[in-house]
Amino acid sequence: MIFSSALIENAVNEFARLPGIGKKTALRLVLHLLKQDPGQVKLFGEVITRMREQIKFCKVCHNVSDQEVCSICSSPSRNKALVCVVENIRDVMAIENTQQFNGVYHVLGGIISPIDGVGPDQLNIYSLVERVQQQGIEEIIMALSPTIEGDTTIYYLSKKLKEFPVKITTIARGIAFGGELEYADEMTLARSISNRLPLESYVQK
């Protein structure tokens, strides 16, 4: 692509580094910014820079945070004995959006995946074991993706935590609400039958 301005070319190249944004979309975004007030664009640049420079990761659960300890871990109304183990901070947001979970989190920062070169040492597993050891945690919910990597990670964690008196659970697998039976994969459908629930727990939802 030929740009008549180096300023625009640089801005387009920077936008095109973002995931899912190609040169054409980047150009569209840059031309949009060109029509905005310079102060507004400056604010955009500042907000992004400040976000990256000032963001902290909670030293308890490794979630993103503005302080040393995140707002979830420091909230007195959350149940500290119930820990939900998730892969990344996006999962924390997804679960928080349900407004149904009252415990705290532990962000692993990934899942065990030898193909991608991610082993247990790259993940926040040691600090989880430490939390279980020191903070009187009663239950750990494994909220990881139902993939081979997720199951491997669950298996690894459960072995690591075997020696401690903590209950380990996983989130329920089954047919999604609004999902059609005929389009469900066989494994999910088979599991949803073998793990069937009494009607009362369905009506309660």
Query: Which residues form the interface with its own copies (CB under 8 A)?
Result: 1-8, 10-11, 14, 17-21, 25, 27-34, 36, 38, 41-55, 63-66, 70-72, 88-90, 92-93, 96-97, 99
Q: CB-wise, 4 or 201, nearer to its own copies?
A: 4
- Looking at the DSSP bridge assignments, the partners of residue 5 are none
Q: CB-wise, 18 or 148, nearer to its own copies?
A: 18
CB of 73 to its own copies, least distance (A): 10
C-alpha to C-alpha distance for 129 and 95, rounded to whole angstroms: 22
C-alpha to C-alpha distance for 87 and 44, rounded to whole angstroms: 29
CB of 34 to its own copies, least distance (A): 6
Nearest to residue 143, comparing CAs of 63, 84, 90?
84
Q: CB-wise, 94 or 187, nearer to its own copies?
A: 94
C-alpha to C-alpha distance for 91 and 146, rounded to whole angstroms: 13
Packing angle, helices 23-35 and 6-16, rounded to 10: 120
Q: CB-wise, 29 or 166, nearer to its own copies?
A: 29
C-alpha to C-alpha distance for 205 and 196, rounded to whole angstroms: 15
Q: Which two tokens stand for residue 6?
A: 């180096």
Q: CB-wise, 70 or 161, nearer to its own copies?
A: 70
CB of 35 to its own copies, least distance (A): 10
